[in-house]
Amino acid sequence: MAKRILVVEDNDLNRKLFCDVLTSQGFSVEPVADGLHALDRAREFVPNLVIMDIQLPNVSGLDLIEAAKKDAVLRTIPVLAVTAYAGKGDEERIREAGAEGYLAKPVSIGPFMQAVRALV
């Protein structure tokens, strides 16, 4: 049974790239473009990992991570935060929100897959 990964990314090119790479590696992938739908899709899809963009329209990825970690169904699902925010203290804030992994954009495929495999 393929591991399931929810990809929450508003940028069409990044979302397609992440999904294509993950699919080619044998994962079952569910893309979500709008963070407002992320938690509902996570409850329906029940992923083994959530890849979360931090800078989303309508809702912050940080807020989504915090909400997921307070949710009885979602709290045990690891989150890999992928963000263009790579300033001082950003990784610490993202990990404090509950993310188990962190990658700064632009993302290279090798480190991306290494981080994914470490969390699933």
Domains in the chain and their CATH numbers?
Answer: 4-119 (3.40.50.2300)
> Measuring CA to CA, which residue among 50, 41, 48 is closest to residue 79?
50
Taking only the tens place, the pLDDT of each residue in 55-103 is 998 999 999 999 999 999 999 999 999 998 777 788 999 999 999 999 9
SS3 32: strand
Give the per-residue pLDDT at 89.
86
Taking only the tens place, the pLDDT of each residue in 3-59 is 999 999 999 999 999 999 999 999 999 999 999 999 999 999 999 999 999 999 899
Give the per-residue pLDDT at 48.
98
